[in-house]
Amino acid sequence: MRPLQLSDRRPPACHRQAPVAIRIAVSSSLDISWCYLEDVNLPHEKDADIPPTLSSAGAIGFWAAVILTGTGAGIGAVVLTMLLEKVQHLMWPGATLLEAAADAGAWRHVWVLLGAGVLTGAGQLILRRLTSGNGIDITEAISEFGGRLPPLRTVGSAVLSILVVGMGASLGREGAPKQVGAVLANTLSDRAHLSDEQRRLLVACGAGAGMAAAYGVPLGGALFALEVLRGVLALRLILPALLASAIAAGISWLALPNAPTYLIPAYPSSPSVICWALVAGPIAGLVSIGYVHLVAWADRNKPEGWRRLVAPMVALGILGAVSIRFPQVLGNGKDIAQLAFSNQVAPLLLLTLLVLRPLSTILCLGSGVPGGLFTPSLSLGALLGGALGLAWSMVWPGVPPGLFAVIGAGSVLAATTHGPISAVVLIMELTGRDRSFVLPLLLAVVTATVVARTLDPRSIYDARFSVREIKKLLRERKPAAT
């Protein structure tokens, strides 16, 4: 075992004047090249408030940083989306990844996914040596390190995730634009000398703006930033998040299509689907808890040392072999969710994918493949809703099968992220629908989230924390004064 060594080098983001205390983040392998340093506020210290008006102290610098964050996040999302499309069309020539994979020969499935495994392993080793910083995710950065992120490694991980997701890894593409937006916000916070509270908010806004630009969901991205990443909803927080996400989405629409991600008909509500939502919501909450536990297990068991190179090749090689028979396991799950929303998935295939899709995501995540969890969670909900709808239709027929999938997607998304408000808004923005099915959607979302939060306080974005740690974080989160 290598002796524990602490380097005296620190990332630029951690250079602070007169720290009152030091917090050290120790990796599980005890192989530390540097430790995060941050000021730990003493009880009598308070961060500067978020400026509510332009006449407040420091308001000009803060709001300028918000505008620049939204602008940069929008540009970053456009570049990353175009890169993803280029890689995907090169590896899987066709209209969509699912269509191309279905038509491709068996050897293409094997060599493309093995290539993604080699790229992941090599990329992880390079990133580990490229910077002295320990990689941390956005939620951990906001909760534990005042929003500070190692810029070079975080951006490198974002680009790597885009490449491997484009090649077929079963993870989401939203992780990369969120990371780029967060890193930009962290850098601007340094330049503007923002307080820790302002930095945490700006980093969350940057991540939400990246998501808003990638999916064209300005309102959902802003609410996601606060409700899921920051964990607080307050007026002073909402305004910066809305501005950053609006700017980012507006910039992305200059280069990317301004259209709903999922095309669905105007599904009507009915007594049958309302009753189904009350039954399906708690089930979605229970399934979401199991999914969060799997994510936590995968995060705890990520490979270390030489296994970083081997594990992605093995995992993605297995995924490639499975995809020969079931090409729907490839990618982030957008294609299969669209098919479920429009009732184009056979019942037996629906039940099979309900097992294979989440297992494929956990397989990739546990092997160290970088990527997001938003669309994989949404597709899991779509498959679960469709499966529960099949059983319900035998008892009380008359509901369009695709509506079950849409409501299931929203309920699992809310329960896995613990963001019911953002989940409802995101479903509406992603589908371009407003109120035709909002009542059953709300009922399913509320019941799923209540069950999930009652039994486990962790979401997929803070699954790495223990239950005790997350309860402590929840107690410490207090809304800013309004």
According to CATH, where is 1.10.3080.10 located in the chain?
Answer: 60-252, 271-476
Q: Are 33 and 149 in contact (CB under 8 A)?
A: no
pLDDT number for residue 32: 30
pLDDT tens sequence across 186-231: 999 999 999 999 999 999 999 999 999 999 999 999 999 999 998 8
pLDDT tens sequence across 124-138: 888 887 654 445 688
pLDDT number for residue 235: 79
Which tokens is 160 given?
């790597």
**DSSP tag of 20:** S
Most confident of 243-252, 261-270, 427-436: 243-252
Concatenate the DSSP letters of all residues of 44-107 into one string.
Answer: T--PPPPP-STTSTTHHHHHHHHHHHHHHHHHHHHHHHHHHHHHHHHHS-SSSHHHHHHHS-HH
pLDDT number for residue 476: 60
Which tokens is 220 given?
């959902």
pLDDT number for residue 33: 32
* Higher per-residue confidence, 374 vs 477: 374
Would you tell me which CATH number, out of the four given (1.10.1740.10, 1.10.3080.10, 3.40.50.1820, 3.30.70.20), belongs to the domain 271-476? 1.10.3080.10
The CATH homologous superfamily of the domain defined by 60-252: Clc chloride channel (1.10.3080.10)
- CB proximity list for 296: less than 8 A, separation 6 or greater: 458, 463, 464
pLDDT number for residue 139: 84
CA distances from 3 to 6, 335, 372, 411 (A): 10, 48, 34, 47
Which tokens is 332 given?
């982030």
- CB proximity list for 203: less than 8 A, separation 6 or greater: 138, 141, 142, 147, 149, 182, 185, 186, 189
pLDDT number for residue 53: 72
Distance CA 376, CA 79 (A): 22
pLDDT number for residue 41: 38
Tell me the average pLDDT of the chain: 86
pLDDT number for residue 344: 95
pLDDT number for residue 55: 75
Please state, for a pLDDT cut of 90, what percent of the chain lies above it: 70
- 14-28, 65-79, 320-334, 460-474 — which is least confidently predicted? 14-28
Please state the rounded mean pLDDT for residues 45-60.
69
Please state, for a pLDDT cut of 70, what percent of the chain lies above it: 85
Most confident of 56-65, 130-139, 307-316: 307-316
pLDDT tens sequence across 162-193: 999 999 999 999 999 999 999 999 999 999 99
Task: Answer yes or no: is pLDDT of 34 > 50.
Answer: no
Please state the rounded mean pLDDT for residues 260-278.
95
Which tokens is 132 given?
């002295």
- CB proximity list for 419: less than 8 A, separation 6 or greater: 223, 224, 227, 228, 413, 459
* Higher per-residue confidence, 479 vs 220: 220
* Higher per-residue confidence, 7 vs 377: 377
DSSP H or E segment with residue 321 = helix 307-325
